Structure 1
């Protein structure tokens, strides 16, 4: 089995792994229980708020979503997710974060998953965020112009180039994911975990969240630790999505998942790989907690820096809840089918 599994394409491997679908389903209550033990409870917020409707209308008015896929935007519960991630900040801070979540999810679901080129989207987003370019009238140009204007109004001039870099990393990770899928292959486990930390799209939103907590950038050891924590937050958000979405991913003709990467690299059953993936998430989360505690105990650390660290660690908690209970991941909505679009 080893040589065949190593050389088989991703679609062939998934077809073979589907024979384990029932065993995977039987394991999922254990997986959910372990993930619930890893991630902390989320501070309750109202299920509905005018902010949610305002952000829904924004997603529609920019053309990022339309009548054809409005149900996808509604299923995202974007406003609720951002309110949960940023429970103690005002709507003025949440708004640009929600804008990005709406736009990047549309890019992921409507373009990446359909193999569409991201070159123009990446160029437009970068030009608008960095320089305020207005040469395009695309939904991406409108969305990024609103995001830029909102941040400038709130004093975020210095944040814009940082955000542009992170958005570029996010889109480049999407491109790499597309390359793997086009070539019908899985990346090795280490590469996959690193990629998942970028294509989960958390880092630009965490950066904005942290800026609204304190616009002063961390330096030295604090900056190094905070960067690691932000990277770990992205990986945790992506990997918990993989684990809880494993049955749905297994039903798709071609998809990437940390469990698939483990099964391929170690040539083990999906059930064994799933158990190993749980251990990977537990290990990364323990490391994230260690880094957060290291930031708390820095001799020259500030309360604002601690708030930034705790905010990063909180995002995976919310994403775990979203993946576990959100309508986007419910049986009637989970994983599409999403509509292809031009952004």
Structure 2
């Protein structure tokens, strides 16, 4: 299918998804923290000097500033640093692949607070660990370590599917897809914010299913926006080819089906948030955790849409600029 037609499908899907993702005002210090995060990434060796590196391409601090819009600046900073670290981890994996032993050594940083690895990702994660402890978030570290472990295992599993040129069933793919997103990790770190229950506080009853729905929604959105690059690089397995294999869909029909799934799950998530608001006596921290689940979907959607637009524009430029 011509790249231009695929880009049109993505643009149409992103437009539709965007109607279900209301925008909120970001943290007033979001720009400052984004600049600090970029400088930190350079200092830690995560980001090549000059413009155009991974941090500049993905702007990971932007959605964090939107969802953590009323958090103390220290909490916002930790969230932005971790999101930046995840972006660089993903970029590394796209280049060299996912290695289970390497990933396990990263998880051990969050479990033990020290590392035997000497590369930038290990050292940067150790720095983040120390910041979480300093923010009285030590109680969240086991949960964050588990979420990172599940994320990397899901990535390794996806890599195995790609290497074997096999496609899992839809249910298996979607189950893996939730952990493949950043949502399970970001929602843990967000609970450093006292408004969500205080550092180290447990996740509220009724919120885990909403977080899982948020993970599904972000996974669908990432797969729609990232489909052209997934096809070009072969580094990701997305929902579109899974639907094509399972149901015999064409590419346009698979996009339509994925968009319908997004709409259905978004309705379910919004309904769940509204139901918590209707229950008398629900703690404000519980409501804020539930609202955050929905807000991560919107904030990460805007990042995905912006990345697609930038990649599509660069593709058009590459095709139209004369050579010589």
TM range (shorter): 0.7 to 0.9
Partner of 2:320: none
Computed over aligned residues only, the root mean square deviation of the Cα atoms, in angstroms, reads 2.6
Does residue 177 of structure 1 match 2:158? yes
How far apart, CA to CA, are the structure 1 residues paired with 2:309 and 2:6? Answer: 21
Which residue of the other structure, out of 54, 58, 62, is the alignment partner of 1:80?
62
How far apart, CA to CA, are the structure 1 residues paired with 2:117 and 2:161? Answer: 30
Which residue of the other structure, out of 97, 111, 122, is the alignment partner of 2:93?
111
| Structure 1: 5+ residue stretches without partners | 1-18, 335-343
Task: Write the deviation string for residues 191-230 of structure 1: whole angstroms up to 9, x where unpaired.
Answer: 2222221111121111111332213324xxx52x211111
Q: Secondary structure at the match of 2:62?
A: helix
CA, structure 1 residues 279+67, in 2 after alignment: closer, same or farther (shift >3 Å)?
Answer: same
CA, structure 1 residues 53+241, in 2 after alignment: closer, same or farther (shift >3 Å)?
Answer: same
Alignment map for 1:231-270 (pairs within 5 Å):
231-253=212-234, 255-270=236-251
Following superposition, the deviation at residue 176 of structure 1 comes to 0.9
Structure number with the bigger relative contact order (C-alpha 8 A, sep ≥ 6) is 1
How far apart, CA to CA, are the structure 1 residues paired with 2:51 and 2:160? Answer: 26
Which residue of the other structure, out of 76, 80, 99, is the alignment partner of 2:81?
99
CA, structure 1 residues 252+149, in 2 after alignment: closer, same or farther (shift >3 Å)?
Answer: closer
Task: Write the deviation string for residues 40-97 of structure 1: whole angstroms up to 9, x where unpaired.
Answer: 2232567972211110111122223334996222122222232122111132011221
How far apart, CA to CA, are the structure 2 residues paired with 1:149 and 1:28? Answer: 40
Following superposition, the deviation at residue 258 of structure 1 comes to 0.9
Q: What TM-score, normalized by structure 2, do the two folds share?
A: 0.86
Following superposition, the deviation at residue 285 of structure 1 comes to 0.9
How far apart, CA to CA, are the structure 2 residues paired with 1:261 and 1:327? Answer: 21
Q: Do the aligned partners of 1:43 and 1:84 also contact (CA within 8 Å) in 2?
A: yes
Deviates more, 1:317-326 or 1:289-298: 289-298
How far apart, CA to CA, are the structure 2 residues paired with 1:99 and 1:69? Answer: 18
Does residue 30 of structure 1 match 2:12? yes
How far apart, CA to CA, are the structure 2 residues paired with 1:99 and 1:118? Answer: 23
What is the number of equivalent residue pairs in this alignment? 311
Alignment map for 1:48-63 (pairs within 5 Å):
49-63=31-45
Following superposition, the deviation at residue 22 of structure 1 comes to 5.4
CA, structure 1 residues 74+235, in 2 after alignment: closer, same or farther (shift >3 Å)?
Answer: same
CA, structure 1 residues 39+314, in 2 after alignment: closer, same or farther (shift >3 Å)?
Answer: same
Alignment map for 1:313-332 (pairs within 5 Å):
313-326=294-307, 329-331=310-312
Deviates more, 1:141-150 or 1:294-303: 294-303
